[in-house]
Structure 1
Amino acid sequence: MDTADVIVIGGGTGGYSTALRAAALGLDVVLVERDKIGGTCLHRGCIPSKAMLHAAELVDGIAEARDRWGVKATLDSVDWSALVATRDDIVTRNHRGVEAHLAHARVRVVRGSARLTGPRTVQVELSGPERASGASRFVARRGIVLATGSRPRTLPGLVPDGRRVVTSDDALFAPGLPASVLVLGGGAIGVEYASFHRSMGAEVTLVEAADRIVPLEDADVSRHLTRGLKKRGVDVRASARFLDSEVLEDGVRARVRTARGETLTVEAERLLVAVGRAPVTDGLDLGAAGLTTDARGFVVPRDWARLETEVPGIHVVGDLLPPPSLGLAHASFAEGLLVAETLAGPPSAPVDYATVPRVTYSSPQTAAVGLSEAEARTRGHEVDVNTMPLTAVAKGMVHGQGGMVKVVAEAGGGRVLGVHLVGPHVSEMVAESQLIVGWDAEPADVARHVHPHPTLSEAVGEAFLTLAGRGLHQQ
């Protein structure tokens, strides 16, 4: 039997951020992790995928240099082993950094699988070097934090094998670069993988059951992104339904029902299933602590301002949370800070999910914060909307990839409700919009501030100038 102020189950972004902040506030923290500290984001998701997408951007740059700028450059080949080695080095250095940070903060990391035995007690089946000591029991003096993350969903009849049929968790680790890929799912994950494989020369078919890709984003974002992907040669199929598939000796053959009701047969070397993620609670024995999940498997907080469950003292962060939580790593960081501060005592503001940025790291990229135009109207707002093409500013012409800035604001100069971006590097531009929406700024407030020329961010400034009645370059 061991005791701690806080026991955190799960060492992904939500779990380790909770542990670090709680330790910084003087609490004694035990962090239980059965795999690797950093979780899906660090080892199978955010970090390795963005490293690969950066490599894809470099490949695209060679083609642009040759075709658009007269730079006589050619791409001989992609050394897959070298690319993977660089990706893995980035992941390894991040992993070591997080572990060192936890050690410096004096967080006790316990390797093993945890299960609840009561509202304040946890039993851990130890793994690794600690396994010889057998199972251990821990008692939390202040609270337990559930941060066990999620796993990829699949579709009926699709059994991932890690080679021909893969999920987002193992797509990066499948052998080599395929010549063709069928991606099922047009959300952020599916779009990013479609974009990556297209950059690497694969023939890509992207299938989405909804009537547009990235269906949770503004309709204009979907439209611009679809246009950009099609321009690059991705076969985008919205309002399409997967029927069935068979694994062949050299690939996969799948049947898809198209928007017109026709049956399309697609053969590809690899089929990537990217239809969402499901919360992981198996093995936790939630019932032993008096907890339940909803029909989708999420652990629903009783108090969203504290992220506290129906059992006092048990909190939840990360992918175990249902909407309005976003299942994003940076949202998990904010949730971890909130829970740690709640347990330690100092006041902490609830997470404002409406101001958490959403980014798709494809080519072109998308980024957004706040309400879409349709959401704003559905909620009863009368709105003013302005859409500014990136090609209306000089730097947008330099990049030559199209894109837009779309602002949704309350009518008559009221507060900004949402900002939506499509184009190159917009992931690095969205932070300004987060502040604009989060601080309830009005277009006139933003228009008073001067944006640098020539930059892509200048288009953001121009969009607000127009809404404030001071339009300059926008007609």
Structure 2
Amino acid sequence: MAETPGTDFDIVVLGGGSGGYATALRAAQLGQKVALIEGDKLGGTCLHYGCVPTKALLHAAELADNARDGSHFGVNTELKGIDMEGVNKYKDGVVSGLFKGLQGLVKSRAITIVEGWGKLVAENAVEVDGRRITGKHIVLATGSYSRSLPGLEIGGRVLTSEHALKLDSVPKSVIVLGGGVIGSEFASVWKSFGADVTIIEGLPHLVPAEDVALSKALERAFRKRGIAFNLGDRFKSVTQDDSGVHVTLESGKTFDAEILLVAVGRGPRTADLGYEQQGVTLDRGFVITDEKLHTGVGNIWAVGDIVPGLQLAHRGFAQGIFVAEQILGMNPAPIVESGIPRVTYSDPEIGSVGLTEAKAKEQFGDDSVEILEYNLAGNGKSKILATQGFIKLVRQKDGPVVGVHMIGARVGELIGEGQLIVNWEAYPEDVAALVHAHPTQNEALGEAFLALAGKPLHAHN
């Protein structure tokens, strides 16, 4: 139930997604009077239409694969089909539980929730449905939306990820336009559910933001799973009729399927919100800030997907905490973008943090970078899980580790240690001295660092 807001707050947060609610929670924890404005649902895209529901689908997909492949482990299982009504009930139950928990947390911090779509109308004021809400500080956190391409209209059999989450049946065939994180995750889900899947990516590799070694490994794994993909050829047009969608690429190649998922990235939600009118600088829709996330206008700050950089919920969380502490004069350390971990939850998973090999060589020079790859085939737990993949370490020669990149089942759960290694600028010898539990996949990180430190245990010199 929304409260009737007052007119004077210490901090007014426009947007209740990951970055916005993190700002509000931390600011309230620090004793500030906070108003949090949200036109849809508290928790934003990540909780309701992105990170959480897609990962629920991916877990259901993993269970489908386990049932299909149980005989490999001596367990006689049979996959009788996918009950999308049941899958959606499970998915929606996860989201609902987290939503209720978040609502309770916000209420416990005495944060005033203002329901409605807000617009910045002054350096210290936001208007919501005709009501003017003022604050000593304003934090912009209006998030992002699913992009499309010029001339590509969403509707009918042409879907965004938000629409795909609501499907009540498994499509027989799917074309996924975009081979980044979102496209690769949905392709992985649908293949596990039994659909024929083709990914179209205009750049030379899948997950093009990752180290090229991981991209090539994902392509090999997808090819083995029967996920088709067409790389380096851009979308031209699509038509749809009762039989499905018909996609044409710039090369003249054509593809047909039941539906088309448009997964070409997310754009900043900043249009018609009054930002530019109040002097906030936008670049292609993104809010430009300094390293302290200040817009340069009055006491207006910005966090999350509207700020150029990685569009990740955990980046939004961190930025929200940072801004709240910055406003309170706590002088927190600025967030280093390269130190933020990234995970693609496909099968196999990708986990990475820090610089890719190419970026490291660009920054330090080809002769000043050392690379090591450790194959998960040498790891006992990976063997038990029947997964393949590797860990790739990037270090500055005779210096600290600047990148940790992994591919394989469940490697997203290992990226926490990788994050500590990169952010604390650890040397291989520092990590090699740590004891990792056996048998775990985490142990593979320890083995990789033993090898990089020049004293491999199970790996060859």
TM tier, shorter chain? over 0.9
Give the Å deviation of 1:283.
3.0
Tell me if structure 1 keeps the 8 A contact 2:247–2:256: yes
Tell me if structure 2 keeps the 8 A contact 1:391–1:400: no
CA–CA distance in 2 between the matches of 1:244 and 1:287?
A: 34
Give the Å deviation of 1:151.
0.4
Structure 2 equivalent of residue 336 of structure 1: 320
Tell me if structure 2 keeps the 8 A contact 1:182–1:270: yes
CA RMSD, 1 decimal: 1.2
Q: How does 1:198-217 map to 2 (within 5 A)?
A: 198-217=191-210
CA–CA distance in 2 between the matches of 1:467 and 1:178?
A: 46
Structure 1 equivalent of residue 133 of structure 2: 138
Q: How does 1:396-411 map to 2 (within 5 A)?
A: 396-411=382-397
Identity level (%): 44
Name structure 2 gaps, 5 residues minimum.
Answer: 1-5
Give the Å deviation of 1:64.
2.1
Tell me if structure 2 keeps the 8 A contact 1:118–1:290: no
Given the alignment of the two structures, is residue 300 of structure 1 paired with residue 288 of structure 2, yes or no?
yes
Give the Å deviation of 1:328.
0.2
Amino acid at match of 1:214: V
Q: Deviations over 1:53-84 (max 9, x none)?
A: 00000001112212x22322111121111110
Q: How does 1:7-86 map to 2 (within 5 A)?
A: 7-66=12-71, 68-86=72-90
Amino acid at match of 2:100: R
- Secondary structure, aligned partner of 1:4: strand
Give the Å deviation of 1:276.
0.6
CA–CA distance in 2 between the matches of 1:291 and 1:393?
A: 51
Amino acid at match of 1:299: V
Structure 1 equivalent of residue 364 of structure 2: 380
Structure 1 equivalent of residue 3 of structure 2: none
- Secondary structure, aligned partner of 1:351: coil
Structure 1 equivalent of residue 340 of structure 2: 356
Given the alignment of the two structures, is residue 446 of structure 1 paired with residue 446 of structure 2, yes or no?
no
Q: Deviations over 1:290-342 (max 9, x none)?
A: 22311x110000x21x200020310000010012xx11000000000001111
Structure 1 equivalent of residue 189 of structure 2: 196
Structure 1 equivalent of residue 449 of structure 2: 464
CA–CA distance in 2 between the matches of 1:250 and 1:442?
A: 58
Q: Hey, which bits of structure 1, 4+ residues long, moved more than 6 A?
A: none
Structure 2 equivalent of residue 429 of structure 1: 414
CA–CA distance in 2 between the matches of 1:390 and 1:85?
A: 35
- Secondary structure, aligned partner of 2:162: coil
CA–CA distance in 1 between the matches of 2:10 and 2:62?
A: 46
Q: How does 1:187-266 map to 2 (within 5 A)?
A: 187-257=180-250, 261=251, 263-266=252-255
Structure 2 equivalent of residue 107 of structure 1: 111
Bigger drift between 169-178 and 89-98 goes to 169-178
Q: Deviations over 1:111-162 (max 9, x none)?
A: 011111111111111xxxxxxxxx2111112x1000000101111222111x
Amino acid at match of 1:400: A
Give the Å deviation of 1:410.
1.4
Given the alignment of the two structures, is residue 392 of structure 1 paired with residue 397 of structure 2, yes or no?
no
Q: Deviations over 1:174-197 (max 9, x none)?
A: 332101100010110110000000
- 1:473 pairs with one of 453, 458, 461: 458
- Secondary structure, aligned partner of 2:31: coil
Q: Deviations over 1:193-252 (max 9, x none)?
A: 000000000000011111101111101010111111111100022112112111120311
Given the alignment of the two structures, is residue 322 of structure 1 paired with residue 308 of structure 2, yes or no?
yes
Structure 2 equivalent of residue 455 of structure 1: 440
Structure 2 equivalent of residue 132 of structure 1: none
TM-score, normalised relative to structure 2? 0.96
Amino acid at match of 2:447: E
Tell me if structure 1 keeps the 8 A contact 2:268–2:306: yes
Amino acid at match of 2:91: R
Structure 2 equivalent of residue 128 of structure 1: none
Tell me the matched-pair count. 453
Bigger drift between 386-395 and 41-50 goes to 386-395
- Secondary structure, aligned partner of 1:35: coil
- Secondary structure, aligned partner of 1:117: strand
Amino acid at match of 1:167: T
